[in-house]
Amino acid sequence: MPVKTYWLEHAWLGTHVEPGVALEVTADGRIGALRTGAETPPPGAEVLRGLTVPGLANAHSHAFHRALRSLVQVGSGTFWTWREFMYQVAQNLTPDTYFALARAVYAEMALAGITNVGEFHYVHHAPGGAPYADPNAMGEALIEAAAAAGIRITLLDTAYLSSGFGEAPNPHQLRFSDGTADAWAERVSALKPRGHALIGAAIHSVRAVPAEQLATVARWADERQAPLHVHLSEQTAENEACLAAHGRTPTQLLADHGVLGPRTTGVHNTHLTDVDIALLGGTTTGTCMCPTTERDLADGIGPATRLQQAGSPLSLGSDSHAVIDLLEEARAMELNERLRSRTRGHWTANALLTAATADGHAALGLADAGRLEAGALADFTTIALDSVRTAGPLPRLGAETAVFAATASDVRHTVVGGRHIVRDGAHTLVPDVPSALAESIAALRG
């Protein structure tokens, strides 16, 4: 029996927009039934006016990078100079300060319609590298922060062992490292999934995990059928160093050690050869594009169209949180490709929304999310169709309006497991998200 009914003024059902949809939520937080043709709200139903889409999946996040917003926009520089600012912020994190910051960041995500985050987590230990009394204190802080903000999390616990192709970690990186992949596996095995949280794995990069230890991380994920993510070819310098060290590209090195496959997602996948693209597509390894970060860091534009054509599913992430807006990530992926190719229409709005929803959730290990259909998790978000950005187009063009005109500011409601987390643009669990962000970021200033 349903415990709650929502009436959706307009709903995106994956291929089209349907007016008047009644959606029932069961006691276990799933969609029990979906009835189209409901011209008026059923008695007692909660009314969601606008366009309701499945909850958005942020497939790549570093929560503490939110503290870098604007700070790293002063002057010029490169990815590598940006990294020095990132290290400074990382040094000031503790389990308590990380919980406070992540709770605020995840609340900002909920306000943007995000119902699930893939947290690529590598700040494991205290400064200097000594473990906390609970070796997973930092990961647990992130899991609890997601619960406090009302969203789901896939904690992608990250192996980060080296400063570059076998070199010892630098002083900033000591708190990232477990020493060996075996020690990483022992620590992460103590983390347990729970109702709102899955545990996955990540290889920070081929720079940060020695080649002979890549298979250990891949095996840990394979034994648990867990998602495995890896930063891949974000920078040309990484490719050049890998070729010098191993005589092959990062993608080829990962293939040699059994890392690629359908549960693996390469993040960025920016600077790839034809052989790399064929390897990723042929193994159905996913690609997570993070366009707002890739443009912010001047990384380049990855070959997303060619990757998808080769067989690599696409997902989206906000990564460094220069902005938190999955609609902008979807729009940017298409518009970046238009700039590069000088042609339009590489993806339909439906395809871009699929990357932001179903395919993003699948990359995070949730195959039963990202769709408005019976049996799926009751996670969805409603976008206004009457704001200054979205007013005017016909509702049947709601997908195009959402992707090419709307922003995170147009999100009116976010529901996770049938529970209203954002109602009328206000977070129901974190009353003042801007203050929570300001206070938690101020606490990290050294």
Residue tagged 């090195």 (tokens): 253
Assess contact for 269 and 280: CB atoms under 8 A. yes
Residues 6+ apart with CB under 8 A from 201: 156, 157, 158, 159, 188, 217, 220, 221, 226, 227, 228, 229
In whole angstroms, give the CA distance from residue 328 to residue 145.
Answer: 25
Q: Among residues 231, 257, 268, 346, which one is catalytic? A: 268
Sign of CA dihedral 380, 385, 387, 393: positive
Amino acid letter, residue 241 = A
Beta strands in 160-256 (DSSP E): 197-203, 228-232
Distances in Å between the Cα of 423 and the Cα atoms of 63, 111, 144, 383, 395 are: 23, 9, 22, 12, 21
In whole angstroms, give the CA distance from residue 265 to residue 373.
Answer: 25
Sheet holding 197-203, edge to edge: 56-61, 114-121, 152-159, 197-203, 228-232, 264-268, 286-289, 314-316
In whole angstroms, give the CA distance from residue 118 to residue 372.
Answer: 21
Amino acid letter, residue 171 = P
Query: DSSP string spanning 412-440?
Result: EEEEETTEEEEETTEESSSS-HHHHHHHH
Beta strands in 219-309 (DSSP E): 228-232, 264-268, 286-289
Q: Among residues 157, 319, 359, 410, which one is catalytic? A: 319
In whole angstroms, give the CA distance from residue 3 to residue 28.
Answer: 9
Q: Is 231 a catalytic residue?
A: no
Distances in Å between the Cα of 400 and the Cα atoms of 16, 310, 343, 352 are: 10, 26, 18, 10
Q: Is 433 left (phi over 0), alpha (psi -120 to 50) or beta?
A: alpha
Phi, psi torsion values for 116, nearest 5 degrees: -150, 135
Query: DSSP string spanning 105-142?
Result: HHHHHHHTTEEEEEEEE---S-TTSPPPSSTTHHHHHH
In whole angstroms, give the CA distance from residue 239 to residue 59.
Answer: 23
Q: Is 268 a catalytic residue?
A: yes
Which amino acids are annotated catalytic? 268, 319
